[in-house]
Amino acid sequence: MNTLEIQKPTPVLQGLSADAMVYFVHSYYVVPENPDLIATTTEYGHSFASSIATGNVFACQFHPEKSQAVGLLLLRNFAQCR
């Protein structure tokens, strides 16, 4: 479990606490060409983009379905987005 640092607010991240922890199963991550897409970062040896958001698209490198209460909040928020 690692902490998310919100870089830009999105509807999916609404209500997320500053110490929200999520589950990662691998060490892969993306490096967006446009850093404005980065919604959250995570520190694990170095800071990396752990989620991106643009328009109605939200993509994450972690597993919300395995991230307990934080994951349920993210999934609930995602389901309510239109």
pLDDT, one tens digit per residue, over 45-62 is 999 999 999 999 999 999
Whether residue 76 is predicted with pLDDT greater than 80 in this model: the reply is: yes
Helix (H, G, I), strand (E, B) or coil at 47: strand
Give the span between the Cα atoms of 23 and 30, in whole angstroms: 17
CATH classification for the domain delimited by 2-80, as one of 3.40.50.880, 3.40.50.1220, 3.30.300.30, 3.40.190.10: 3.40.50.880
pTM above 0.75, yes or no: yes
Domain boundaries, the chain: 2-80
